[in-house]
Amino acid sequence: MHDDDEMAHGADPRPVPRVAGVSAEPGNVLVIQWQDGGSTRVDLSGWIAFHDIAELRDEAVFGRPEVGEYGWSVQWNGDENLSIDTAHLRLIAEQQAEFTTNDLVQWQDRLKLSNRESAELMGVALSTWGLYRTGGTIPAAVQIACRAFERDPSLFEARYRPSRPPGRPPKAA
């Protein structure tokens, strides 16, 4: 699936980003300005709830985020124990990013899957997979699964069942 040995073992070779600036929006949303340029909106509602961070449920506290030491995190109240590191911020933002029909087609091409194999991997009918590929709404569960299968090769290997013999088909007579 992946030629790069690091990716084949689940390691992420991308550099960890650093924060240049941060601001808060209503609904537990941060707007992150990265040191290497660009900005990202990330909704931290799920992170706050999962980690049961009562202090950040207070809008007055959440509304005052700060760049952590050297830009490696975002923190609140000057407390590095009340913080989230930039690697997690980036990963959450990537999972929240739009997953388009084009993203789906590119994902399928990168994994070298037929339409039938993709449909079987996702547990949907071949006709449903065809709708996703032609602009139909891609359910969140399928978006999550696509990203997870590509990020974790062992997950893909555990679920993938080839439906065609390896190699190119024979030439027509």
Parse the chain into domains and list their residue ranges.
19-96, 101-159
Q: Is-contact 138 132, C-beta < 8 A?
A: yes
Mean of per-residue pLDDT scores for the chain:
88
User: pLDDT tens digits, residue range 47-97?
Assistant: 999 999 999 999 999 999 999 999 999 999 988 889 999 999 999 998 999
Q: Above 90 in pLDDT, residue 148?
A: yes
In CATH terms, the fold of domain 19-96 is NE0471 N-terminal domain-like (3.30.2020)
How far is the CA of 59 from the CAs of 24, 63, 64, 67, 76, in angstroms?
A: 9, 6, 9, 18, 12
Nearest residue to 26 via CA among 1, 43, 40, 13: 43
Which pTM was predicted? 0.73
Q: Is-contact 67 21, C-beta < 8 A?
A: yes
Q: Where are the alpha helices (DSSP H) in the chain?
A: 5-8, 45-50, 59-62, 86-96, 101-110, 115-122, 126-133, 140-151, 153-159
pLDDT value of position 10: 54
Q: What residues contact 9, with CB distance under 8 A and at least 6 apart?
A: 153
CATH number of 101-159: 1.10.260
Question: Average pLDDT in the 135-159 region?
Answer: 92
Question: Average pLDDT in the 146-160 region?
Answer: 91
Q: Above 80 in pLDDT, residue 8?
A: no
pLDDT value of position 5: 44
